[in-house]
Each structure stands twice: as structure tokens, then as C-alpha cells.
Amino acid sequence: MNGLTRRTAERRETGVAAHRAGVDRLLASYQAIPANATVRLAKKTSNLFRARAKATAPGLDVSGLDSVISVDPDAKTADVAGMCTYEDLVAATLPYGLAPLVVPQLKTITLGGAVTGLGIESSSFRNGLPHESVLEIDVLTGSGEIVTVTPDGEHADLFRGFPNSYGTLGYSTRLKIELETVQPFVALRHVRFRDVRELQATMDRIVVERSYDGQQVDYLDGVVFSADESYLTLGRQTDEPGPVSDYTDMDVYYRSIQSKQTDRLTIHDYLWRWDTDWFWCSRAFGTQNPRIRRFWPKKYRRSSFYWKLIGLDQKYDIADRLEARKGNPPRERVVQDIEVPIDRTAEFIEWFLREIPIEPIWLCPLQLREPGRDVERRWPLYPLAPKRTYVNVGFWSSVPIVPGQPEGAANRLIENKVSELDGHKSLYSDAYYSEDEFAELYGGADYAELKTKYDPTSRLLDLYAKAVRRK
């Protein structure tokens, strides 16, 4: 046994023991929750933008379930605790030249959260969504039992229904995932378009051909700054040495898209290129002002710290108070990710730019990785058609509230448009669907059957109650 193999084996043994202790604490905390109380996680942080009701009982202790259990570099797999962040997961896999097949953009997103709540990134046009690279999951169900779910095992129905269930069918304690080989650098090209319909057509070709202008494309996303200024960013993995950019200091990554045609990043910095400035949302805190940025500690230039600022704003209504002092109306939060078929993308963007005063917006194409034969029931809580390309459109800001309009007027307008275009939206933020609409879009009878089977006494919240009623 060589040194690397020995260290890998030792780390696995240590990781397994620590994980077992964490599971024991989790189960003990479940038993301590009163039988008539709703079971929730005892988390101090969250990547959800929708408000949540205050817990009235102790939560599940997940403090021992936040690490990488082991990495198998030969099999290209990793066993990971459900509350492990992608920041820690990537740190454990990159030394082996490996990475998860899809790495969501923000460091504090957990693997369990990305699987039960969906996630996406610029590898999704070839690798699908995070749950599609999962081989098996240990799930703590509402009945307090931990079951191992796999695509073809006894609990295959829960394996298929777990994505987009947001903890309402159970919580993952361990996930075994596939990894892929990555090169140390990513070479970037930023291709400008003056017409979003031309951008749509080019994106569609790249997804099919996996190349552009004779060069391989490994990563693909885009940014729309206005109706006549949009970009596709094409990433190609490479081991060629050379200078690289650093967007953790004074330079802001998304602004480089407008000023550079080509760029290079380390694979580490590419995976986290959006985190330093939370895409472009750090501008709300003044961080992109050079005079402020110079004195803003680098350790606080990350999404986890911006989340704390958002929490303070939500608690004390800081933004609305400041708007009121200026004589402006309060603002409606419009923080959403939606998916529409690629052939309807330009139509949605053109409508959005006319109706919703928010810019920039992010684009990320995706296809299901392995549709399977049982198409309609493959992922029933977020049913995307197989062999069909969708585009995730992300927009994260706020708009002025118009007096006399119903609560969430802009969000409701967006929901209606997305449904009209045969799309879906993620449920991490505010939603306003009726129960019938929600059931039609997010699992309906399939979800009800899973809920009855794996949470028979309703210890966990219902998905509609959690996502729409904000329980």
C-alpha cells in the first residue's frame, strides 16, 4: 500500500466513524422532538429566500453530518454527509483531480440541499442536475427510520421522488455521488450577441455539438445585460500552463465578461467565480464600489456573509426603511430561477425585459442526463422532458410595489408566463400558486403517495405548505 492509498484509507476510516456518531446524534434529537411537533432541521443558515415560520420545538441535530466521509479516486465516487457544503466537497476532491459533475455556484450550498432542492451550473448542459449523479442516499424519513434508497432498490420510488421535495419526504444523511476528472485550468471565451434570438440559436447548437468554432465546450452559461447586449461564456478544460485571472480581489468577474473576449481561471476559481460577488448582487452592499471594496475584508467577500446581511434586512426591514426616507414605495423581492424550453428562451427574455425592471439576468442550459425508460415518473416532483434542452433563467433583485396590486404581483406575473411557456420554477423562493396549479406542476398524486408511505403521521411539513404557505 503506497502513501496516498494509505492516507485515503485512514481518512475513510476516520470519516466513517465520525459520520456514524453524527447519525447517532441525529436520531437522538429526533426522539427528543415531541410527537405532536413538526420535525425541522436545527440549521443556523439557509440558502432559501422564502420566509419560514419560526420553529416551536427543538430541531434535528445535524452538527455531525457536515463533512466528506470518503473519496474513492479509482471509482471516481465520494460518500458525503448530507449537510456537507460544496466548498468542503470540492476541497476534498480537487486534490485527486476530480470534481462533482455539477457544482452549484455558491459555496455554502449543501450536497443534500442541492439534491432535495435542485441545483444547476454551467456543466448542466452535459451533466444534468446534481441528483442525476447520485448513486444512493441514506434518508431519515418522517417516521424516524433511515432507509438507503437507490435507483433500482426497494425504495426506488423515494429515490425518484426525493429531488425537489425540500425535506418534506425526509433528510439525507449520506449521499454517494459520481465524480468526474477535471483539468487544472479553464479557458474562457465570452461571445457577445446583440439579439437574444441569435444567442438562443447559438446556445442550442453548442448544446448539441458540445463545441463552438472548432473548440470543445465543457462549460456553458450566459448573461443578459440588456436587449442588445448579451453574452455566452464558453469554458474549456485545459492543462496548459499560463497566467490566470483573480476575481477575489478588486476585479469583479461579471464585469470582465463585457471587457474581455478571452480569459483563464484555475478550476478552483472557475467553480467559485460567482461566489465572491454573489453573481452581481454584492453591488447592493456597495462592495463593487472600488472605494468600498478596497476596505472590505476579502474573507467577507463571499455569499455566506452576504446572506447574513440579507437576514438583517429581512429582520429589520432596512431596505424598505431607506426607500421610505427617499419617498419611494416599498419593494417586492423578485428572486427566482426558472426553466423554459430553449426554443422559448428568447421569448421569455424579451417579455421579461419589457415587464420586469431587473438586470442583469443569468442563463444556464440543461438537459436531463439519463432520461430512462419510465419518462413520466423519472423525477416526478420536477418533471422535465427527456432529450429536450431547457434554459435556466436566474434573476435576483426587487421591483417597486405598485399600490393596489396583490401581494407578489410581479412574481405572480412571472409564474403565469413560465407556465404559459411550458416551464417550471425552482421553489427556494416565494411562490404563489393555487393548490391545484402546484399539484399539476410538482408531483401531484405521486407526491401524495410518497408522503403517505414515508411520512404517515405527517411529522414533516407538506411541500405546498412549505413552499407556498411558508410554514
- Residue 55 pLDDT > 80, yes or no? no
CA distance 391 to 338: 8
What is the per-residue pLDDT for 50?
53
Q: What is the pLDDT of residues 152-168, one digit of tens each?
A: 999 999 999 999 999 99
> Looking at the DSSP assignment, which residues form a beta bridge with residue 264?
187
Burial of 347 per CB tally in 10 Å (0-12, 13-18, 19+): middle
Percentage of residues of the chain with pLDDT beyond 70: 91
Q: What is the pLDDT of residues 77-102, one digit of tens each?
A: 999 999 999 999 999 999 999 999 99
> Looking at the DSSP assignment, which residues form a beta bridge with residue 78?
71, 177
Q: What is the pLDDT of residues 66-83, one digit of tens each?
A: 999 999 999 999 999 999
What is the per-residue pLDDT for 373?
45
What is the per-residue pLDDT for 374?
46
**Residue predicted with more confidence, 357 or 53:** 357
Under DSSP, the state recorded for 107 is T
Give the pLDDT mean for 15-32.
90
- Residue 450 pLDDT > 60, yes or no? yes
- Residue 375 pLDDT > 60, yes or no? no
Which residues 6+ apart lie within 8 Å of 117 measured at CB? 48, 164, 166, 426, 427, 428
Q: What is the pLDDT of residues 183-232, one digit of tens each?
A: 999 999 999 999 999 999 999 999 999 999 999 999 999 999 999 999 99
CA distance 430 to 467: 7
User: Which residue from 294, 192, 204 is spatially nearest to 249, judged by alpha carbons?
Assistant: 294
Residues of 145-173 as b/e, b for ≥16 C-beta within 10 angstroms? ebbbbeeeeebebbbbbbbbbbbbbbbbb
CA distance 456 to 351: 43
Domains identified in the chain and CATH numbers: 3-181 (3.30.465.10)
- Residue 319 pLDDT > 70, yes or no? no
